[in-house]
Amino acid sequence: MYIGGSVISSVEFHGNMSLVIFMSKCPLACRYCHNVELLEDNTEKSFEEITQEIDSSADFLDAIVISGGEPLVQTDAVIEILKYVRQIGLKTKLDTSGIYPENLKRILDLGLLDYVSLDVKTTFSKYRKITGANIGFQVKKSMELINQAGVHLEIRTTYVPTLHTKKDIINLVDEIEAEVYTIQQFRNKNVLDPALEKVEVPNPHDLADLAREIKPYFNGIVKVKSGEFGEQVI
């Protein structure tokens, strides 16, 4: 399996200490992608190496987070890891773009997930502008599958001033259903499109104002995630 690295985190699975495993590969070319090094990374690790890493930290872990890249490029490997995590009694979380709903359904049907963070990049009809591909309907299907499965769902959008408008976010909230919606601050370092390095990083206070504006229209928790203040519940 292609693995780009791992990190211990106290923020990726709220209230839990987790080992985040970054799966390499992603078919998308999102202009603001900040994990560019994972897109074509060919670093391989065996299942045994992954389980050894999990075991070495298990005593102080609550959860394992599978992130990327796009983990569902390697669905069989993700299932193998999650089954092991279930066996040793840790919680599980998946970060995904939602572009492979059928692969996601395989995992949901196996009951291997406690939590999904779904990266919804814009309103479902405007996906081509962000990703270069008209795949919003697939992401919407993934959202529906997660909700049907009763798995805790957080939807996240990275707000890029030159790619999103306030109206886009307001319209997006109308289209989604989840327990949590998080507006993430765009960072202009290590992005796929060099032109975005010149785009000003959104002011976290402005993002908080936007979150407060949409909060009455979203039936769930609204958060803002920024470099300056971390994760804030609005």
Residue 39: pLDDT band (50, 70, 90) is low
224 confidence band (pLDDT: 50, 70, 90): very high
Rounded distance, CA 73 to CA 93, Å? Answer: 16
Please tell me the pTM assigned to this model. Answer: 0.93
Average pLDDT of the segment spanning 147-174:
94
Could you give the CA distance from residue 56 to residue 161 in angstroms, rounded to a whole number?
42
Question: Range with the lowest mean pLDDT among 31-35, 102-106, 138-142, 210-214?
Answer: 31-35
Q: Lowest mean pLDDT of 20-24, 79-83, 95-99, 191-195, name the range.
A: 191-195
How many angstroms separate the first and last alpha carbons of the chain?
39
Give me the mean pLDDT over the 159-163 stretch.
90
How far is 228 from 107, CA to CA, in rounded Å? 35
Supply the Cα-derived Rg of the chain in whole angstroms: 17
Q: What are phi and psi of 112, to 5 degrees?
A: -100, 0
Supply the pLDDT for residue 37.
Answer: 66
Distance from C-alpha of 111 to C-alpha of 32, rounded to nearest angstrom: 32
Confidence of residue 191 (pLDDT cuts 50, 70, 90): confident
- Which domains, ranges and CATH numbers included, belong to the chain? 3-233 (3.20.20.70)
Per-residue pLDDT of 130-142, as tens digits, reads 888 889 999 999 9
